[in-house]
Amino acid sequence: MDVDRQALQWGAAAFDHARAGGVLQGDGSHLPFVDSSFSAVVAVRVYHRVESSEGLLREIARVLEPGGRLVLLVQPRPSLLTLAVDLQNEL
């Protein structure tokens, strides 16, 4: 799941999206899943990019089943590659 259509296209091409259940465009602060849908959630480089990190965590907690696991990978500071990609996206 991603808000960026290009990221979704890359992910669908790079991974076996049929086996993984497909790709979905959307916002992490409004997850389109019922409560307790997942035993695990993996969020990669999303925490620092959302308007409300509290809203993101609330939604993740909502879709996790009791005792579920969250893997949250954050980027403490932008790398040069991230800055270059961000700059390119702004142009």
Q: Which pTM was predicted? A: 0.68
| pLDDT score recorded for residue 18 | 46
Q: What is the set of domains in the chain, with CATH numbers?
A: 5-76 (3.40.50.150)
Q: Amino acid identity of 85?
A: V
* 38 CB neighbour count, 10 Å cutoff: 15
Collapse the DSSP code of 42 into the 3-class scheme (helix H, G, I; strand E, B; otherwise coil) and give the result: strand
Please give the full DSSP string across 21-46, using - where no structure is assigned. Answer: T---B--TTS--S-TT-EEEEEEES-
CA dist 45 and 43 (Å) reads 7
Q: Chunked in runs of 10, what are the mean pLDDT values of the chain (91 residues)?
A: 81 65 78 93 77 84 92 70 56 48
Bridge partners for 44 per DSSP: 73
